[in-house]
Amino acid sequence: MLQVIKSVLAAFLGVQSEKNRQQDFQSRSPWPFIVTGVVMTLVFVLVVASVARWAAS
């Protein structure tokens, strides 16, 4: 799971090493990545939103 989160984070930055990538693509189903990606997008939005909220106050 940690690996999945790390990979999705890497995807957000757009940087991924070949080794980790190989590892990701060993896994048989893409679903963990897709679900984590969507969840992390939501988390990302919440984080930026709370930073904005904090900065505005």
Instruction: Determine if 43 is a binding residue for other proteins (CB under 8 A).
Output: no
Based on the shown chain and the rule CB under 8 A, indicate whether residue 23 belongs to the binding site for other proteins.
no
Size of the residue set binding other proteins (CB under 8 A): 25
For residue 9, give the amino acid letter: L
| DSSP codes joined into one string, 16-45 | --HHHHHHHTTSS-SHHHHHHHHHHHHHHH
User: From the list 12, 23, 32, 35, which residue makes contact with other proteins (rule: CB under 8 A)?
Assistant: 12
Q: Which residue has the tokens 């890497």?
A: 10
* List 35, 39, 43, 45, residue binding other proteins (CB under 8 A): 45
